[in-house]
Amino acid sequence: WSLEYLSELQPRKKWRSPQPNLQEGQLVILKEGNKPLQWNLARINKVIPGEDGLVRVVEVKTAAGVFRRAISKLVPLPLPEFGQPSNGGRDVPV
């Protein structure tokens, strides 16, 4: 699982096509020097854009605290509902 799925989360499309900027509130996995199963889950608190306006560094919150990380060390989780309004419990049959 860790060798197949986690490696598919970060495709190797460097600089070939524009990628959407990371956004505040987005869930990510922090790539670190340890094994992929030990990577931490984090939420982006603040985005820090570079001179070109693209996000280069983010402030993330994990269970261990708040850290700044380069976006190259992050794997965004593919959550389809992120950034879309929810129904808020409406249309739920009772």
CA–CA separation, 38 and 19 (whole Å): 26
Whether the pLDDT of residue 87 is over 60: the answer is no
Amino acid sitting at position 83: G
Q: How is residue 59 written in tokens?
A: 């402030």
CATH number of 21-75: 2.30.30.140
pLDDT the model gives residue 77: 87
pLDDT per residue over 6-63, tens digit each?
A: 667 666 655 566 677 888 999 999 988 888 788 899 999 999 998 988 899 999 999 9
Return the domain boundaries, the chain: 21-75
Of 49 and 4, more confident = 49
> Locate tokens 């049959």: which residue?
93
Burial of 42 (0-12, 13-18, 19+ CB in 10 A): buried
Of 94 and 69, more confident = 69
Q: How is residue 74 written in tokens?
A: 């992050």
Q: Residue ranges of the alpha helices (H) in the chain?
A: 5-8
Q: How is residue 72 written in tokens?
A: 């190259």
